[in-house]
A and B are shown apart, each in its own frame.
Chain A
């Protein structure tokens, strides 16, 4: 009988942990888009790691710069080797908070994510527009924001300056599932 109680209590505890705990995705999507008169450049990353604390709405995101896939191999090479220097700064990170998170519970809504984005070793406070969908088994965040290339000390050679936009649009789609240890 004692064992059964222990099992029941354990199950209850586990339930609490998963209900209040962390939500995670390892295959989140982030893309960026540069539009210029010369050409449009787009790169996709489907290996984004993101963790949301479903209690507080805090969020931490990590991605590998080398996981960005470009249509042209040469662009990908230049991006990694010359512009974002992936050998020195292999990751980009974001840590912040989903605003009004407690009001959003169990429903859909548009809000902001505010926090610090780190790319190329430089920090920048950003605010992203995001659509949040929360249900028992998923926290879905879909949104976008804009960044200035210059804010991250990324040097673009004058010869291709016209090919790359000064302002880059970033899109994201993160589908978090409850995290089980």
Chain B
């Protein structure tokens, strides 16, 4: 086999390997790391609820699937299948922001009390009766 032919086969082989690795990594790419990601928006619970209630379609376009940081007062803390759920109240509305926390946050959530003001960062999935956030973490 001439050196030239060998080089072509070798480079094709390398290309195929690279292609396989890239597609494997793409297929298995991890979920967004909330802690390491920058938030797209940071706002108060009241503001978020107000926007969803008054301009639902615009709010949906703006916030859904985005990482947002919400500041609010704790209305209620509960657990759901071993994970913490924090409800942030809005003084002027029946709706709240329901934050489903990541399991890693459980220990930190135990130290929280109702009425305390906190910052929660997570992914917004939309609005039913309340704004819903998933994969949330506490932020100092």
Q: Which of A's residues lie within 8 Å of B, judged by CB? A: 26-27, 29, 46-47, 49, 62-64, 66-67, 69, 72-74, 76, 80, 86-87, 90-91
Contact = CB atoms under 8 A, between A and B. Distances in A.
Interface in B18-70: 26-32, 60-61, 64-65
Contact of A72 (B28, B60, B61, B128): B28
25 contacts: A27-B80, A27-B85, A27-B98, A46-B80, A46-B81, A46-B100, A47-B98, A47-B125, A47-B134, A63-B128, A64-B125, A64-B126, A66-B64, A66-B125, A67-B126, A72-B27, A72-B29, A73-B30, A73-B31, A74-B26, A76-B31, A86-B65, A90-B64, A90-B126, A91-B126
The residue among A29, A46, A62 with the most chain B CB atoms within 10 A of its own CB is: A46
Nearest to B87: A26
Nearest to A24: B129
Interface of B: 26-32, 60-61, 64-65, 80-81, 85, 98, 100, 125-130, 132, 134
Given A46-B100, A72-B29, A73-B31, 17 more contacts: A27-B80, A47-B125, A47-B128, A47-B132, A49-B128, A64-B125, A64-B127, A64-B128, A64-B132, A66-B125, A66-B126, A67-B132, A67-B134, A69-B134, A73-B29, A73-B32, A87-B61
Q: Is the interface of B mostly helix, strand, loop or mixed?
A: mixed
Nearest to B32: A73
Nearest to B26: A74
B132 to A, nearest CB: 5
Contacts of B98: 26-27, 47
Contacts of B126: 64, 66-67, 90-91
Given A27-B85, A87-B64, A49 B30 contact: no
Contacts of A76: 31
A47 B132 CA distance: 8
A90 B129 CA distance: 14
Contacts of A74: 26-29
Contacts of B32: 73
